[in-house]
Copies of this chain bind each other. A is one copy, B any other.
């Protein structure tokens, strides 16, 4: 039988199986929801298995439906040598500090190899480029080996920012991949742009097509909406 282990800090608890020597991915929804969209793609495409969840009094009361079944809003998944921390809500800033401590404690106990997080950079115009950053000279060198452009300056907000410095303190290599976004709205096309890089980093073969299809659907709907808004007169509520 699988043993669930609790990793607890003052404001949150990780209830999860232990998985040794894995690469850990973190997908929480910052601007563009990049990490969350990419995380769901990996769950589907790699048929990842849920191995645990994070629980906290400070989370919003929320369940997420997946094929009709209510699941925890912050789940942990695993497949061959890869572990994914996947959140479906924006982590409250007051929780991020303790949560990053709990995740890094989990990684230390499980001798995790490295951390990869996902974030976004806001641009005025998209050039479809992707950039990376890391938490040490060594970790940065690896990104160079992948011929990934480096994001030299800027802020990394949210859980991924907190994890980057926290892992550095514990000498765990970590990197962050940045997709270009125009605004805060969900952007599956931006998330898709990271798939190739991730495929190389993890030596996997995930297909970004579902995200590109989703992006086209959203764009179609927005164009449709824009047309209707221009054409329809404002209608009375009761006629």
Q: Could you tell me which A residues sit within 8 Å of B by CB distance?
A: 56-57, 59-72, 88, 91, 93-94, 96-98, 100, 132-137, 140, 143, 150-162, 164-165, 168, 174, 176, 222-223, 226-227, 236-238
12 A-B Cβ contacts within 8 A? A56-B97, A57-B94, A62-B156, A63-B162, A67-B150, A68-B132, A68-B140, A68-B143, A70-B164, A70-B168, A72-B165, A226-B236
List 5 extra interface pairs beyond A61-B161, A70-B164, A226-B237, CB under 8 A: A63-B155, A63-B164, A64-B155, A65-B154, A70-B165
Distance, CA A65 to CA B140, complexed state (A): 12
Determine whether the beta carbon of B61 is less than 8 Å from that of A152.
Answer: no
Please, which residues of chain B bring their CB within 8 A of the CB of A72? Answer: 165
Determine whether the beta carbon of A65 is less than 8 Å from that of B159.
Answer: no
Distance, CA A212 to CA B197, complexed state (A): 39
Q: How many copies does the complex hold?
A: 5
Interface of A is mostly: mixed
Determine whether the beta carbon of B161 is less than 8 Å from that of A69.
Answer: no
Given contacts A70-B156, A71-B165, A134-B70, contact A97 B65 (CB under 8 A): no
Determine whether the beta carbon of B69 is less than 8 Å from that of A140.
Answer: yes
A19 to chain B, nearest CB (A): 20
Q: Which listed residue, B98, B132, B143, touches A57 by the CB 8 Å rule?
A: B98
Q: Which listed residue, B94, B132, B162, B174, touches A62 by the CB 8 Å rule?
A: B162
Please, which residues of chain B bring their CB within 8 A of the CB of A136? Answer: 69
Distance, CA A213 to CA B168, complexed state (A): 33
Distance, CA A226 to CA B69, complexed state (A): 42
Determine whether the beta carbon of A165 is less than 8 Å from that of B133.
Answer: no
Residue of B nearest to A154 (CB): B65
Distance, CA A132 to CA B69, complexed state (A): 9
Distance, CA A69 to CA B165, complexed state (A): 10
Distance, CA A88 to CA B154, complexed state (A): 10
A191 to chain B, nearest CB (A): 17
Q: Which listed residue, B60, B132, B238, touches A222 by the CB 8 Å rule?
A: B238
